Amino acid sequence: MKLVFVLFFCFFINTTGIAQENLPVTIGVKHTIKSTVLNEDRTIQIYTPEGYLDSDKEYPVFYILDGQWYYFSGVSIQKALRTPSTIPEMIVVGIHNNDSSRWELFGDESEKFTDFLVNEVISYIDLNYRTTKERIIFGWEAAAYYTSELILKKNDIFNGAIITDGGYASEELVKGFTSKKDIYLFIANSRKDIYYIGSTDAFYEILKKSNPKNLIWKYSLFNDEVHESLAHLSMYKGLKYYYHNYDSPVFESIQHYIDLGGIHYLTNYFKERAKRFGGDGQIDDNTKNGLIWLAWNRNNFEYFNIFMTEFKDVLTTKRYDSAYWQNRFGQFYLKHKDYKNAIKHFNLGLDKYPNSNFEKDMRQGIMDAKNKKGN
């Protein structure tokens, strides 16, 4: 009887554990706005970052038109890009539209939709969520045409816009654009979007001709995509473009670093980043570490020496607090016949990290450096 009870108990615990694993995954909340502007109920979906409820932090907001289709794309891209730090954590708001009225509201009745967007959607989000007032908007197809004009007419609402598979604004409207701050516009399309590529190309030509001050814009073609498939990729590329200097810069080679302007480029990069996103405007440790590693990896001793001198402050951080790094530095200096620095790092490794796995290599390195130094 006891054996039966034990077996039953184990079975119960096991099945209970399995059942608890099959919990539903929820991504945000749905909210119904009883719109007095549109005279109808409108659904919006709202995603808040992990940890939102446990902090008092404020967040930028990403507004997605046609949220019934693209809300989940926005959430997935935001979550993927913010790890570790390509873009900041964001609140994502998907605004649902009705197929029967979306072209009309994004066209002839665009003023009405803007009234709804600003005074009913954005005001609700700002009132009920902690926002920074930094806003980006996404529009596909009909919403792209609407957003093209909105970002030029009312640039005090959004800091940036991403449009795809459509979009156009007249030369008069583009020339009339004025803003005291930078406004970002990312335009995407494909030659296979045979429906709307013409208007996007025309918009590009107008922007190129007028090149309005403080409108930071880019037009990209993704010709492997078609009208129905481009939205997700455009959203991804657009967010990366808007936040192009949010993350630490990465260089594919030392020559790439030189071509961009070297230390002068880095200094300006971090000053501009501080203006947009805060911070002290100093070159960060990630960039310093990356350049030291790049020079070591590409066997470029000249720039390795430059970076080790220019960024010597980073050498005292936790990253390099090990015998592994002191041996690595020592061996690289030894390889390039800088015996003084080789001995310096070997000795540091031996003194600070006795009995490490690299002790034998470092002692041999000191002997080799002294012998070659004496010859």
Residue ranges covered by each domain of the chain:
29-242, 254-374
pLDDT in tens, 122-145: 999 999 999 999 999 999 999 999
- Residue pair 334/362 in contact (Cβ under 8 Å)? The answer is no
What order do you get walking across the sheet with 183-189 strand by strand?
29-35, 40-47, 91-95, 59-65, 131-140, 160-164, 183-189, 215-221
* Burial (CB count <10 Å: 0-12, 13-18, 19+), residue 150: buried
Residue 153 to residue 17: CA distance in whole angstroms: 57
Residue 10 to residue 253: CA distance in whole angstroms: 59
Q: How far apart are the first and last CA of the chain?
A: 87
pLDDT in tens, 105-126: 999 999 999 999 999 999 999 9
pLDDT in tens, 358-369: 999 999 999 999
Place of tokens 């119960």: 12
**Cα 93 to chain centroid, rounded:** 17
Token pair recorded at residue 309: 């001198």
Q: Which fold has domain 29-242?
A: Rossmann fold (3.40.50)
Count, residues in the chain = 375
pLDDT in tens, 333-359: 999 999 999 999 999 999 999 999 999
pTM above 0.85, yes or no: yes
- As a whole number, mean pLDDT of residues 176-194 equals 96
Residue 12 to residue 17: CA distance in whole angstroms: 9
Place of tokens 């498939």: 229
Residue 214 to residue 226: CA distance in whole angstroms: 31
Token pair recorded at residue 242: 């808007």
| CATH code at 254-374 | 1.25.40
Facing residues of 163 across strands?
A: 139, 187
- Residue pair 220/188 in contact (Cβ under 8 Å)? The answer is yes
**Do 29-242 and 254-374 fold alike per CATH?**
no
pLDDT over 70 (residue 284): yes
% the chain with pLDDT above 70: 94
- Of residues 13 and 160, more confidently modeled: 160
Token pair recorded at residue 88: 């900041």
Find the DSSP H helices in the chain: 2-21, 67-81, 102-106, 110-116, 123-128, 142-153, 171-175, 197-210, 230-242, 254-260, 262-277, 285-297, 301-310, 323-335, 339-352, 359-374
% the chain with pLDDT above 90: 87
